[in-house]
């Protein structure tokens, strides 16, 4: 393990050696990620170690959350949009060699940082955890599970940005 890492958009990186232990995530990264980037359905960002090896990746996509079933009183405090903008942290994986060292949570922070830098409207960061273990991971990082949504969690951007400011303070 050779930190420090650099994070950057997926480009001409060598993806063949990436192994996170999750077959679905590894296959996605090798077969689909660059295609999704080309199709502009998701952005993919990688963490590169000092040997230019990929240590982890995550994807981000713009999304919208419909808020059309709220009680009247609640809707009052919100913008009059039928939908609110959000960012979706689609996939996140860390190579086995780097697991358990804080890189996964650093990549969540990295995503928040990028969204903040973009300066685009997003009320929340959403994530669809792939299994219960992943769900527990996101919950430990402050993501809140939503009732009736098996593995969809979210964190308010404002909450995440407060954490960012606290870290920089």
Partner 1 sequence: MTDPHSLKPRTIAAQALGAIEPETRGVALPVHVSTTFIRDPDNQYRTGYIYGRPDNATVRHTEAVIAALEGAHEAMLFASGMAAATSVVLALPPGSHVLGPQVCYWGFRDWLINEAPLFGYRVDLVDMGSVDAVRAAVKPDTKLIWIETPSNPLWGITDIAAVAEIAHKAGARLAIDSTAATPVFTRPLSLGADIVMHSATKYLNGHSDVIAGALAAARDDALWTRIKQVRGHHGAILGPFEAWLLLRGLRTLEVRVKAQAESAALLATRFANHAFISSVLYPGLPSHPGHAVAARQMSGFGGMLSIRVKGGERAAIDAAARVNLWKRATSLGGVESLIEHRASIEGPVPLTCYDCRLVWKTSTISTTISIARCAPRIELLAAEDAGICPVNYRTLAARDMSESNTRTSRLETRISPEALALVKRAAEIEGRSISDFVVAAAQDAARRTIADVEIIRLSRSAQKKFAALLLDPPQPSAGLKKAFKHHRRLVRDVR
Does the annotation mark 58 as catalytic?
A: no
Please report, as residue ranges, which positions from 65 to 94 form the binding site for partner 1 (by CB under 8 A).
Answer: 65-71, 74-75, 77-78, 83-84, 86, 88
**Residue 54: in which H helix or E strand, if any?**
strand 54-66
Please state, as a whole number, how many other Cβ atoms lie within 10 Å of the Cβ of residue 39: 9
DSSP 8-state symbol, 62: E
Q: Which of residues 6-65 bind partner 1 (CB under 8 A)?
A: 6-9, 31-32, 35, 38-41, 47, 61-65
Rounded least distance, CB 23 to partner 1, Å:
14
d(C-alpha 1, C-alpha 95), whole Å: 11
Q: How many residues does the chain have?
A: 169
Please report, as residue ranges, which positions from 91 to 130 form the binding site for partner 1 (by CB under 8 A).
101-103, 105-106, 108-110, 112-114, 117, 123-124, 126
Identity of the residue, 134 or 155, whose beta carbon is nearer to partner 1 in the bound complex: 155
Residue 17 C-beta: closest distance to partner 1, Å: 20
Distances (CA, A) of 144 to 35, 88, 120: 31, 14, 22
């Amino acid at each position: 393990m050779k930190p420090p890492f650099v994070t950057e958009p997926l480009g001409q990186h060598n993806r063949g050696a990436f192994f996170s232990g999750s077959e679905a995530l590894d296959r996605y990264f090798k077969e689909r990620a660059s295609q999704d980037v080309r199709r502009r359905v998701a952005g993919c960002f990688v963490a590169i170690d000092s040997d230019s090896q990929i240590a982890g990746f995550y994807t981000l996509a713009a999304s919208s959350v419909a808020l059309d079933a709220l009680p009247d009183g609640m809707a009052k405090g919100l913008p009059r949009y039928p939908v609110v903008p959000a960012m979706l942290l689609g996939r996140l994986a860390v190579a086995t060699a780097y697991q358990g060292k804080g890189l996964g949570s650093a990549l969540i922070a990295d995503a928040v940082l990028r969204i903040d830098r973009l300066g685009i409207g997003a009320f929340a960061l959403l994530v669809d955890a792939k299994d219960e273990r992943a769900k527990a991971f996101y919950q430990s990082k402050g993501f809140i599970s939503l009732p009736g949504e098996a593995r969809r969690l979210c964190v308010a951007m404002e909450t995440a940005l407060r954490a960012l400011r606290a870290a920089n303070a």
